[in-house]
Structure 1
Amino acid sequence: MRSNFLFTSESVSEGHPDKVADQISDAVVDLFLSKDPEARVACETLTTTNRVVLAGEIRAKGVFDAQSGWADGALDEIERAVRNTVKRIGYEQDGFHWDKLEFANYLHGQSAHIAQGVDESGNKDEGAGDQGIMFGFACDETPDLMPATLYYSHRILERMAADRHSGAAPFLEPDAKSQVTLAYENGRPVRATALVVSTQHAAGYDQAKLRDYAKGVMADVLPDGWLPEDSAIYVNPTGLFEIGGPDGDAGLTGRKIIVDTYGGAAPHGGGAFSGKDPTKVDRSAAYVSRYLAKNIVAAGLAKRATIQLSYAIGVAEPLSLYVDLHGTGTVEADRIEAVLPTLVRLTPKGIRTHLALNKPIYEPSAAYGHFGRKAEGDHFTWERTDLVDALKQAL
């Protein structure tokens, strides 16, 4: 690994069109899981000018049955969940309004062929919902064991959203993006060399005032002394940003997977998370991979750790487990590979049970990253570091 370099990550706000789609998809997942913890959901969302469209495959007791179809009131509940999500984000614009948008629901029953391979039955354990590779990552650059470039990109936009919701910055609108470039010396982040914020704003709002506000947020979020020179701070570099959100650009579920994970600092298996119930290993195996990597770093066994898992559709056990400590480990990676499956069963059901994933916990994960979040109650269980002692004892 290089010691001295520049690295960049970006984030997008909860009001970005793709993130609106992700949050709607996860609101649907949460609704189904609240009715049936064993629900099967694969919900894709399209957002555009005053329109939201759902599509995908589902199965859930009390909501949808392959024989009898939709339960009474279920379609209305889904529409309410969609509109309430858009309202919570803050869209009451002419081009995208929670109460005025047109809504279309094309969700339908899950394929029986997929169900027969995935469902647990007799002596057959629950199989993976699809084939694929999933990665988890952790590093010691921040208290949350995340890449610093992504960590600060998220924090800038979270602070701006909090100011918008509280009324402290009423000139802000929901759509925004950030980008943070950091200089690394001897492998550690030491300062920012470029910062970018593009944010939707009220019509006619003074750009100089907006720049001053954004610079103030950056200064508050970054460590002391990290702010770059003024010429390397870019706020709305194209000028006015009044038309935004789904009215300015269509949004789709799953288009911000690097923002959702590690900001490009680690590999990505390619599968999106939002809109999928936890039997889908795209989601659950990526979560447990992060959990394992974070516990390795938290235990002091490495400064950086990457985990890869792979699965075949309908097969319970992972096909492979790979650990890379990037030359920073205090023990051999193959020893950790041998220990991890003894601490957590890495089948879809084992992962869901260990991390308590069959609950309506997903909508909060759909903005500002699925990782590097605070584990509180049932939420973000994959961010816990409760394997540290067991890892140390085993190794």
Structure 2
Amino acid sequence: MPMKRLLLLFIVLLSTLSVFAQSEEYSVLVKDIETLQPIENATVVVLKTKQVLMTNEDGKVTFVLSGGSNVQVSEMNYENLTVRWAALKESEFVVYLKNKKENLDEVVVSQENLQKTLQRIVSNSKQKISVSHRLKVYVREFFMLDNQYSYYNDGLVNFQFNKNNTTTLLVEQNRSYGLLEADVSADLMGYNLNNIMENYSNFKYFEPLLDAKAKKEYDFTVKGHSKNKDYYVMSVNPLDKAKDAVDNFEIIYDPVKKIILEFTISVPPVSLDKIEEKTGVGDKNITKSFINVNFRLDGNDYYLLSSNEEIAYTLIQKEKSKNIQVRNSFITTGFNKQNFTYNESDVFKEKSLFNKKNKILTNYWDISGFTATDEEKAIIASLEFKL
């Protein structure tokens, strides 16, 4: 073959390989097949890369991919679905899930003390999650002062879990927008990423329920999950005569594998009314408290999938009290049992991303597990503009 033709063939081959290697951005919309409404908090796994994403309020996820990959979509109340890449022809496509339509909301008859049941599933969950692993996590936080958004931060970070469930934290990228007054900034500076992650993996939030005195403060009940026959739902609520207990707990768990899949902790208005109002300067009076945490079981791998915490309170000051609302989220976008390598100087030893210098290499916030809604993007853009 003449040299010119060989050279031309080589150039065409390189060009073709370059096209196939080029990464493209894709979006998936997840909807209920009957109501056509978006499904929030559905888990979307890109099987080629093992990237894990969760749908936002619009039922949307966005990711970057080189080539093609089948996509697995799941949500506890719906039938799981794996979509072949050949069927996903557009850069933005819709996946429809079928509601399980099961009616299983029946009281589970148990001869065992339900507090002991909870102790057992918490202990087993802690043991299951304690295997050394690392998580790539997208974290973000919205901060409101007197009902106005005033600060936002997010970041793509890596948590290395040691066998005792302590964590080492490395920050890949991060950004912070907006301004905060000095008298409220301490609240953000006290938001400790490592502590919160360790609390999730150690199931620290359940400690009040595991104490022997809890039976005098809480009522324990168990029902079958209304949509999933494989799961139970334990509700733990303060008794009317309870003096200190104010939190309502809902715990979804697998009774066979004895692991926790999701828990929600909230303080209802009736409980808030029981709390004596504080009046000292610097005191905080809680007006809202909500925590939702999800775990993922993938074969033998068990790890934190996502969390969302919202808290609102009134900060008492000399002249005028201030209303503060904080909403923060963790979304795991990658799980790996291999430890990452790092220099000690790379370890992030501060409490939070607050005031950390921005390090932006990619648009990681769009493709790192949890895509912002149009409303959230507008809020972030307005805070960026204020800088």
Fold conserved between structures, TM > 0.5: no
**TM bracket (short chain):** under 0.3
| Structure having greater relative contact order (Cα 8 Å, sep ≥ 6) | 1
TM-score (norm 1): 0.22
Larger proportion of helix:
1
Larger proportion of strand:
2
